[in-house]
Amino acid sequence: MVQQFGPEPPPGLRKADAGFDAENAPNHEGIEMAFAEKVIQHMETYWKILKNKRGSQLRLTKIDDEIYEHLKKDFPELDPAVDIDEDVMKNKENKERWRKFLNFYDKKVEDFNFGTMLRKNPKDDVEVENRIIFVPRMQFYAFEIARNKAGLNDWIYEQEHPEEKKE
């Protein structure tokens, strides 16, 4: 259970002064737990949505089409149907490409850089061990919008609703 701090944050978590060094700040267990809980809740919520609506019919943001076109322009080699190679995605060159892509949405997408979980492959269930990676929210949107537009997540809905024929 996550501790609720109320209107006043606990000692040591009050608004940081200008000299605060986030890189060397100690971790706070309560904050880490709240963060982990939010990340898991996001993945569970998305999975429930995919069980109740075909991914190809979903909109994850108000600007899905813009994100998708931007992704295709900046990452023409990206194939949403294949495994994400985390080493390639996070190598020096690609890390900079992704940073530029993500930061473009700083004022456009809420929580664009908040961490979340992403399946390495659209064929994976969220419960498959070692098949989930941790990425910024905007990267999650980029991959999942591309997967949804390609119909790669529709199997989740169809598995839950075998009686319905594919539209």
Q: Where are the domains of the chain?
A: 35-53+61-160
Greater pLDDT, 47 or 34? 47
d(CA 104, CA 154): 29
Architecture of domain 35-53+61-160: Orthogonal Bundle (1.10)
**Does pLDDT of 10 surpass 70?**
no
Q: Give the tokens for residue 13.
A: 């978590």
d(CA 100, CA 131): 26
Confidence of residue 14 (pLDDT cuts 50, 70, 90): very low
Greater pLDDT, 89 or 35? 89
Handedness of CA 22, 24, 30, 35 (dihedral sign): positive
Among 36-40, 42-46, 78-82, 156-160, whose mean pLDDT is lowest?
36-40
What pLDDT, in 10s, does the model give residues 94-152? 999 999 999 999 999 998 998 899 999 999 887 777 788 899 999 999 999 999 999 99
Handedness of CA 37, 43, 45, 51 (dihedral sign): negative
Strand partners for 87: none
Give the residue from 162, 10, 2, 144 showing the smallest Cα distance to 80: 144
Strands (E), 19-131: 115-119
Q: Give Cα 40 distance to the centre of its chain.
A: 11
